[in-house]
Amino acid sequence: MQVQTRPQQKSKLRDAIHWFRVRFFRTRSAKVGWVLILSILILVLIGPFFEPYSPTATAGAYDSPPSLSHPFGTDYLGHDLLSQVIYGAYPSLLVGLVAALGATLFGFVVGVLGGYYKRLEWVLSASTDAILSIPSLPLLILIGIIFVVTNQLIIGGLMLVLWAPAARAVRSQVASIKKLPYVDAARTSGYSDWRIIWQVIVPKVGSIAMAYFVLLVSVSIVLATALEFIGVGNPQIVSWGSILYFAQQYGFFAGDWWWVLAPGLAITVVATGFALIGFSFEEILNPRLRT
Amino acid sequence: MIVFLVVLNLDFFLPRLAPGNAAEILAAGSKVPQQAIILLEQRFGLLKPLYIQYELYLKGIFSWPPDFGISYGYYPDTVTHLFEVRIGWSMILLLSSLAFGIVLAYAVAAASALKRGGRLEAAALNISVLINSTPIFWSAMGLLWIFSIWLGIFPLYGNVDFGVSGAGYVESVAEHALLPVIALGLSIFGESYLLLRGSTLESLKSDYVFAAKSRGLYARLISTKYVLKNSMLPLISVMSFSLASLVSRLVLVEAVFGYPGIGDLIIDAVRLHDFPVIEGSLFYLTVFVIIGGLIGDFILVRLDPRLKL
C-alpha cells in the first residue's frame, strides 16, 4: 500500500530551496555571517584578476607599512601582503572545507550507528570519548612531525580529531528519536533496520549534521592555521597560517603589525561568518535558545 | 581508562608507522652524530622486533617516574624532568585564566539574565561569538603588540625577571602572566558565556523561577541565586569536557608569549624535532585532561546528588 504520494519534481526543488532558506537565511546573525563569507569569497575569487603582484615576487620595498600601492603592506622579502592573503586563502579554505566535510560525514555515520545499534554503542561511544579527551593540538603536532606534512595529511589529521563532537551530538539525537512511537510503528509495519535508519532517522538528524558541518568549517580553518603558525606545516605553500608563521618569526617583534593584521583578520572574518551561520542554524533547530 | 589505553597505544604506534625509525628521522635534518643514533637505537630497542619494543615502552611508562626517554633538544635532560619543571608555570596560567574567564562570564550572565533581550545581552552574545572564532594566537599577538611592543607596559616574553626575590618576585610573575591570562581568560569567557546563556534561558522558563517571581523576590536575587546556580552544573560538566581544547589553546598562548610552560616546550620540540618530548607531552596532557574530567565529575556529584548513580 502506497501511503505517501510522491511529490512532483518541481515542488521538490522548491522544497529544497525553502528548506535551505529557512535554515540558513532566516536570522539576522546568519545574514551577517553570509555577508562576511561572501566578502572574503569575492576578494579571493576576483582578487587574482586585479592583483598586479605575484604572492611570491618581490613587489616593493621590504617591510613597508600599508600604502596606496600595497594596501596591506609588504613583508620582509618585499612580497605584497594583499596578494599573499588572497592566494593564501585557497589552501586554508580548501583544508577547512574538506576536513569539515569528512569529519561531519564520518561523525554522522558513527553517530547514527552508535545511536541505533545497542551492540555498537559501547565501542563507538568509547572511541568518541577517547578522541574527545585527547588534546587535539599536541596529537596533530605529533602526527605532523612524524610524517611529511601535506595538505592531505592535515586534512586527514583534522578529520581524525574533529569527527568526535559531531558523532556525539548525532548519537544522542538518534538515541532519543529511536524511542519515539513512530519508529516503533515503522518497525511493526515491517521496515528493516536499514530502512528505518535511512527513511526515518537520517532525515531527522540530517539538520544537526549540517549545523555541525558549518561550525566545524570554522573550527578546522582555525586549527589548521594554528598548526601552520606553530611550524607544523609546509612553509613553502602560501597560506594564511604560513604568512602568520613567517610574520611571527621575522617581523612581529620588529614591530611589523601590518604583517600580522591582514591574514589574522581574514581568518577571523571567515571563521566568524561560519560560526554565525552555524549558531543561527542551531538556534532554529533548538528554539529554546531564541531571544 | 579507555582513553588512557588509547593514548598509550597511539603514542607507541604512531611514530612507528613512519618510514624509517625515530633515530633516522632525527638524524635527517639535525646535526646528531652517527654514534648517537646508534646509541638511541639501542636505548629504545628500535632495531628489535615490535613486541619487544612495546614491552620496553610499557615498562618505561609504568615505572616511577614515568620514562619517556631523554629529550633530544635539551640533552641530557629527561622528558619527565622537563615536565616537572614547567608544569607549574602552565598551571598558574591555566588556573588563573579559568578563574578570570568563568567569573567574568558569570558576572555578565547574571547581569544580562536580569533583562532578557537587552542591549547587554546582545553585546555579550556578539562579543563571545567573535571571541570564539578568533584564532587565539592572533588575538594574543594583538595583545602582545599593543601592550608590550607599542606601549611597552608589559614584558615581551618569559615568566619572571632574572634576579628578583620576595615581593618583587611575585610582582614580576604577575606582570608576566597578566597578558597570557587575559588572552586565555577571554577565550574561556566566550565559551562559557554562550553556555551559561543557553542554560540560563532554560531555567528562566522553569516553574521555580516563576514561583520566585510571583513571591515578589528581587530580580537580582532570582538571577544569581535561582537561575545561575543551576546553570553552574552544565558549565562544570562542559568545562571538564572542553579541557582538551583548553589545553590546545594554552599551548598556543604560551607559544605567542614565550611563556616557559609546557606549550613553549612543545613549540621548541617542534622546531628541534624533539620526538620524546612531543610523545611525552601528548601522554601527560591527556592524563591531565582525564584527571581534570574526573575532578569535574566529582564536583558535579557533590553539587548535585541526583547525578549519583
pLDDT digits (tens, 9 = 90+) for A26-83: 677 778 888 888 888 888 887 777 766 776 666 666 666 676 666 777 776 767 777 7
CATH architecture of structural domain B84-308: Orthogonal Bundle (1.10)
- Cell 626517554, located at residue: B69
Report the C-alpha gap between B157 and B183 in whole angstroms.
14
Contact check, Cβ <8 Å, B134/A272: yes
Q: What is the pTM of this model?
A: 0.81
- The angle formed by the CA atoms of residues B290, B295 and B300, to the nearest 5 degrees, is 125
Contact check, Cβ <8 Å, B135/A146: no
Q: Are B115 and B121 contacting, i.e. CB atoms less than 8 angstroms apart? A: yes
Q: What tens digit of pLDDT does each residue of A248-290 get?
A: 877 777 767 777 888 888 888 888 888 888 877 777 776 555 5
Contact check, Cβ <8 Å, B133/A232: no
Residues whose CB is less than 8 angstroms from the CB of residue B253 and which lie 6 or more positions away in sequence, other chains included: B93, B136, B137, B140, B180, B183, B184, B259, B263
Give Dmax (Cα) for chain A. Answer: 77
Confidence (pLDDT) at A257: 77
Mean pLDDT of chain A: 79
Residues of A in contact with B245 (CB under 8 A): 135-136
Residues of A in contact with B138 (CB under 8 A): 244, 260, 264, 267-268
Determine the residue of chain A that is closest to B141 in CA distance. A260
CA distance B86 to chain A (A): 16
Cell readout for B143 is 595583545
Give me the residues of B, 242-271, that contact A with CB < 8 A. Answer: 243-245, 247-248, 251-252, 255-256, 266-267, 270-271
Determine the residue of chain A that is closest to B283 in CA distance. A134
Reported ipTM exceeds the 0.95 cut: no
Is the confidence at residue A217, as pLDDT, over 80? yes
Contact check, Cβ <8 Å, A132/B244: yes
Residues of A in contact with B127 (CB under 8 A): none
CA distance A255 to chain B (A): 7
Q: Are B281 and B265 contacting, i.e. CB atoms less than 8 angstroms apart? A: yes
CA distance B215 to chain A (A): 25
- The residue that leads in pLDDT, A271 or A17, is A271
Confidence (pLDDT) at B25: 54
Helix axis angle, B79-114 to B262-272, nearest 10° = 130
Local confidence band at B30 (pLDDT 50, 70, 90 cut-offs): low
Residues of A in contact with B17 (CB under 8 A): 146
Peptide bond into A203 cis (omega under 30): no
Map out the domains of chain B as residue ranges: 2-61, 84-308
Give me the residues of B, 45-104, that contact A with CB < 8 A. Answer: none
- Amino acid A53 reads Y
